[in-house]
Amino acid sequence: MQDNLAMTTNGVTTTAKDIAEGTVKVVKAIDKFNNTISIGKDGADLNKVIKVLTDSSISKLSASFGVLGATLSFISLFSSSKSSEEIIIDMLGDLELKIDSLQSLMLERFEHLEAVIERVGANVTLSNAFTNIDSVANSVDVFLKATSHSVRKASLEKLKQYQGKDLRAAVEHISQTLSDRVVTNNVYHANLKASYGNAVIIQEVGRRLNYYLIRANLMENFIDCVGLIDDEVLLSIEVPDGGNPLDFVPQEHLEKMRGKIESNALFHSKHIQRHEQAWLRALELCKQDCSKYIDLYMTNRVFPTLDAKNHKASVQKVIDELSANWGWLDHFAVVYDDVSGSSKHAMSGLSTQHHAYSRQPVSKGKINAVIAWMDKEKPALGAQLNSKVSHKYKVKVGGGPSPFGGRPGKMVKKTYGGDAEKFSQWSDLKDVLNDLTDNPPNSQRFIWVSKKKQGVSRAQTNNQRLLWLNGKYLDFAAFE
C-alpha cells in the first residue's frame, strides 16, 4: 500500500494532506459566510445581507461544496472511532479548529421555522422534502457512529437502499416552492404576506432551505461513494489512531468518487443558485415594499394595542414595534389628539416614507398618529436643521373699535423672519412648511408641525436624525 494515495487533477498529484488542507479552508469559508449572513433579531443587518447575496457568495462557495463533500465522504467512510473533523485535525495538527459535528459545516438550523412553514401552501411539499433528506442523513450518522461490526453491517445495508434520485426528488420539491407560477405555493410570497415583510422570517426561511439543499448534495455524495466500494472492504478496514484513511483507499476508488461528486455538483449547484436568487429577491422585497407592510402592521397589530388616554405610552409602543420589525430603518412617530384641518396640524416630505393616520380608532377613543422612517445607511442630518421661516402676513392698522363707527383701518403687509415655533399668528400651518428658509424642494426630509395643546407625544430611534422643538406656539419636527 502506498503511503500517500492521491487524486490527480490536470496531471498534478494531490496528497491526502493537501485534500484535508483544502477542506479546512472550505470549512472556514462556510463558517465565515454563515457569520456574514446573520441578519440580527430585528433585521438590522438587512442591507449587509442583501449585499452579500448580491455578490453571489453562495454561488461562489457552491463550487467548493463538492470538494468538501468528497473529502468528508471518503474520510468518514473508513473510521468508526473518530469523526471526519477529528481526523482532519489530527492530519493537520490544527488544535484550534473547533468543529463539533458534521452539521456545523452546514447552515444553522432554525427549529421554530416549522411554525412559519405551516402557514403556507408549501407546507406539505417542504415537510416531505425535509423528512426525506433527514432520513438519509440520519442513516449516514448511524453508520458513522457504529461501534460494532454487526451494527455497522446493518446500517450499511440500510444506507445502500437509498438512491441519489430520492434526494434529487426532494431537492426538486423544494425548488417547486420557489415557482412564481403558483403563488399560493411559493414559500417566499406566502411568508412575506404572513409576516408583514419581516426580514428576519425571510432570512430564516432562506437559511433553512439553503441548509437542506446543501445537505442533500453532501448526502448524495456520501451514498454514491459508499456504493462504489464493496461491502467487505467497507466493513473490514480499520484505521489506527492518527492514521490517514485515504491511505487505505485504492486509487481507482478515489477517481470514481471524484467523478460522481463532480457529476452531482452539476445537478445540485443549479438548485442552490436558483434558491439563492429567490432568497435575495424576497429580501429585496422586504425593503421595496416596506411602506405597504408597515401600514398593514400598524393597522392590524399596533393600533388595537394603543390607548387614546395615554399618548406617551402609545407612541413608545409604536416605536418599539417598528424598530423590532424593521431594524434597518430609523423611525420617528408622533401621537396626538384627533384634531383636523391645517389650522391645527400639517406635514410634508418623504411621500413614500411616512404614513399619517387621522382620527384612528384605538382603545378608549381616537388619536392622530404619524410615522416616518429612513434607511440607517443614509446620513443622519435632522438634528442639524432649523425652523427658520420667512413669512409674509397682514395685520390691521388703525381704525375704530367698531365697524359701524370711526375709521375702518387698513391691512398692512409684514414679514416675520425667525423661528416658526415663536410666531403666534399662524392661521394655516401649511404656511410653515412653505415658508421654511432651509427646506429645498429636493430635500430628503419629513416636516411635521402642530399647534400647542394638542396632547402631543413623540418618540424616535435616532436622536441625530430628528430636530424636535417644543415651542411656545408650535410643536415642530424635522426628520432627516
Q: What is the pLDDT along the chain (480 residues), one digit of tens a residue?
A: 232 223 333 444 444 444 445 444 544 555 555 556 677 777 888 887 777 667 654 444 444 444 444 444 444 443 334 444 454 444 333 323 333 333 333 333 333 444 445 455 566 788 889 989 888 888 877 776 777 778 878 888 888 888 778 899 999 999 988 887 655 578 888 888 888 999 988 888 887 887 788 788 878 877 887 787 777 776 776 655 544 444 556 666 766 777 777 788 889 888 988 888 888 899 999 999 999 999 999 999 999 999 999 999 999 999 999 999 999 999 999 999 999 999 999 999 998 999 999 999 999 999 999 999 999 999 999 999 999 999 999 888 776 666 555 566 788 899 999 999 999 999 999 999 999 999 888 888 999 999 999 999 999 999 999 999 999 999 999 999
178-184 long-range Cβ contacts below 8 angstroms, 24+ apart: 178/274, 178/275, 178/278, 182/121, 184/121
Q: What is the pLDDT of residue 321?
A: 97
CA 31 to CA 98: how far, in whole Å? 11
Of 285, 301, 227, 293, nearest to 257 by C-alpha is 227
Q: How far is CA 340 from CA 312, 376, 389, 430, in A?
A: 20, 32, 23, 13
Give residue for cell 451514498.
Answer: 223
How many CA atoms within 13 Å lie on the side-chain side of 48? 14
Neighbouring residues of 4: CB distance < 8 A, sequence distance ≥ 6: 15, 16, 17, 244, 247
- Determine the length of the chain: 480
Q: What is the pLDDT of residue 403?
A: 58
Residues pairing with 392 in the sheet: 415
Of 108, 98, 89, nearest to 39 by C-alpha is 108
Q: What is the pLDDT of residue 101?
A: 32
How is residue 191 annotated by DSSP? H
- Reading the block at residue 442, the C-alpha cell is 429636493
Q: How far is CA 61 from CA 33, 200, 259, in A?
A: 9, 23, 19
Q: What is the pLDDT of residue 204?
A: 81
Coil, helix or strand for 373?
strand
- Reading the block at residue 329, the C-alpha cell is 430603518
- Residue 214 class from Cβ within 10 Å (0-12 exposed, 13-18 middle, 19+ buried)? buried
- Residue 415 class from Cβ within 10 Å (0-12 exposed, 13-18 middle, 19+ buried)? exposed
How is residue 405 annotated by DSSP? B
CA 123 to CA 131: how far, in whole Å? 12
Report which residue type is found at 370. V
Of 265, 252, 244, nearest to 67 by C-alpha is 265
